[in-house]
Structure 1
Amino acid sequence: MDPIAVDDELLRAWPLAKPSAQSDKEERGRTVVVGGSAEIPGAVLLAGTAALRAGAGKLTVATVQRMALAMAMALPEARVMGLPETAGGGLDASGAPLLAPLAPRINALLYGPGLQDEAAAPRFVQTLLQHLPPELPLILDALGLCAAAHVPPRAGGLLLTPHAGEMAKLCGEAKDEVQADPARCAADSARRLHAVVVLKGATTHIAAPDGRLWRHEGGNPGLATSGSGDILAGLIAGLVARGTPLEQAAVWGVALHARAGEQLAARMGGLGFLARELAAEIPHLMDTGT
């Protein structure tokens, strides 16, 4: 199947649902972002901020205990939970049940930004899945992607956001093989893992498990900066929390992320803007429809 181009025409024909004037924060959904570490504490801050900028009504951030207070001060709009830490600096699986009381009220869960301890990541997810309803959408990003093979098919769906290097690990191929045929790799992994796959790059490919495939070209080199992927993952999670289907949230998230970069580049120059500055561009872009 030839990829569908993500352009103005597609976005106009597939608009995001808008909340009614009478809606409240509960109706716009709850996002939970799980991740972070003492060495990379800002990733969940970026992702959580992006989820709120995407219109999610409520946000909870779960991170390592020793960073929880600082996170709560940096992100006063969120509820912050501190979880036990492994010796390798990751999230210990013993902390996963602490999220169980939230599970019935979560609309999207993002796991992975800023994580450390690759061995611990799958164990945390395997424990967490025991406490999540199957209809809850799950988004895996960054180190959280190493848990993808441990996630069985879910009624709520699974979404993955790898770059080429991470995709190489997911599909067992060399990075240059992924870069040579990204559409195939994304499509094959989407079918095999029963997931929507967002294979990031200068050209981003989005694949659904049923074989649908989209291609986005755009953005600018300035988006290739630390924290940019965290913004994209949080943006997608926020859209999912609002009730957007996973594949639509992926397509719109990629397009909004790229266009936020274009707006910053037009004002500030093509290189040197910060990932944290992308999130503030999102509300206006959603209002204008692109």
Structure 2
Amino acid sequence: MTFRPLDVRTLREWPLPALAHDADKEERGRVVVVGGSREIAGAVQLAGVAAMRAGAGKLVIATAASVAVQVGRAVPEARVIALPESGSGALRADGLGVLADSLEGAAAVLVGPGLMDPEACVPFIVQLLALCRGIPVVLDAGAMDAVAAMGRFEQPVLVTPHAGEMAHLTGIAKEAIARDPESVARRASAQWNASVALKGAATLVATPDGGGWRHDGGHPGLATSGSGDVLAGLIAGFAARGATLEQACAWGVVLHALAGRTLARSVGAVGYLARELPGVVPGLVEKAARPLRRSPAPKAR
């Protein structure tokens, strides 16, 4: 089965779940973003704001205690939960109890942006996943190290590696991945029972049932610090609104690229910042949701 093209036309033919005009913030879903560290505090901020810009109704950010106050000031829209850290900066599994209330009723969970010492965080992530049964989960950045410990997932999970991260997760050489990324993405998705977004100049989205999408509309300006955190946040935000992980990923990948192209026109081809991407997303969502214009039928002579 070949990977189907993923673009704006795809989104228009695959609309997001409808929101009632009087929908409140609870109906638009609560997204929980887990990650951050004393050295990378901004990643959860970028992801959380992106999730809100995608349309999520409520935001919880669970981050390292050493930066929780800083994050709360930077993102006043969020409830911020301070998580205990180890000496190396890893999040400790014995601190998961403070997250239980926020996970109950969550519509989507994003784990990974800004994690420090990912290997040491694996016990925390594995136990966190056990608390997220039935909740769509996006594993990004350092949280993907939990793949080896899990083997196969028994819940809806999306993993978002670039080629280097995929090489780390699979043991396949980066050069071999570059030669046949579609096969690698498909095999990983089937093996892990998870959707896989293999990021690159062309981004591939593979699903455990053998389906797949290919997006070729990336932009060089998106190769900047924090851009991946924004993409992960967009995906989590669309999932919080009720989209499946596959659909949320499709919308996130296309809108992320369109946001880059939009900023390239106003700022320059490179040099715009990841923090600027979420701000242009709501308008792009509205444009992408508009029905396709059909050419009028020719008049009879």
Please state whether the residue corresponding to 2:251 is helix, strand or coil: helix
Q: Deviations over 1:17-41 (max 9, x none)?
A: 2311010000000000000011110
- Equivalent residue, structure 2, for 1:51: 51
Tell me, in whole angstroms, the C-alpha distance in 2 between the residues paired with 1:217 and 1:24: 36
Q: Structure 1 stretches of 5 or more lacking a match?
A: none
Deviation at 1:86, TM superposition (A): 1.2
Equivalent residues of 2:202, 2:216 under 8 A apart = yes
Equivalent residues of 1:51, 1:238 under 8 A apart = yes
Deviation at 1:129, TM superposition (A): 2.9
- Equivalent residue, structure 2, for 1:162: 161
Tell me, in whole angstroms, the C-alpha distance in 2 between the residues paired with 1:240 and 1:130: 19
- Equivalent residue, structure 1, for 2:14: 14
Tell me, in whole angstroms, the C-alpha distance in 2 between the residues paired with 1:14 and 1:103: 28
Please state whether the residue corresponding to 1:289 is helix, strand or coil: helix
Tell me, in whole angstroms, the C-alpha distance in 1 between the residues paired with 2:241 and 2:149: 26
Deviation at 1:107, TM superposition (A): 0.8
Deviation at 1:49, TM superposition (A): 0.3
Tell me, in whole angstroms, the C-alpha distance in 1 between the residues paired with 2:80 and 2:73: 10
With normalisation by structure 2, the TM-score equals: 0.93
> How many aligned residue pairs are there?
288
- Equivalent residue, structure 2, for 1:272: 271
Tell me, in whole angstroms, the C-alpha distance in 2 between the residues paired with 1:190 and 1:181: 15
- Equivalent residue, structure 1, for 2:249: 250
Equivalent residues of 1:149, 1:193 under 8 A apart = no
Tell me, in whole angstroms, the C-alpha distance in 2 between the residues paired with 1:130 and 1:203: 33
> Quick check: 1:81 aligned with 2:81?
yes
Q: Residue type of the partner of 2:164?
A: G
Equivalent residues of 2:31, 2:56 under 8 A apart = yes
Deviation at 1:211, TM superposition (A): 0.4
Higher CA-based Rg: 2
Deviation at 1:104, TM superposition (A): 1.9
- Equivalent residue, structure 2, for 1:172: 171
Tell me, in whole angstroms, the C-alpha distance in 2 between the residues paired with 1:100 and 1:131: 7
263-272 or 94-103: bigger deviation: 94-103
Tell me, in whole angstroms, the C-alpha distance in 2 between the residues paired with 1:278 and 1:9: 21
Deviation at 1:171, TM superposition (A): 1.6
Deviation at 1:150, TM superposition (A): 3.0
Q: What does 1:1-290 align with in structure 2 at a 5 Å threshold?
A: 1-132=1-132, 134-151=133-150, 152-155=152-155, 157-289=156-288
Please state whether the residue corresponding to 1:18 is helix, strand or coil: coil
Equivalent residues of 1:97, 1:127 under 8 A apart = no
Equivalent residues of 1:60, 1:79 under 8 A apart = yes
Q: Residue type of the partner of 1:135?
A: G
Q: Residue type of the partner of 1:44?
A: V
Please state whether the residue corresponding to 1:278 is helix, strand or coil: helix
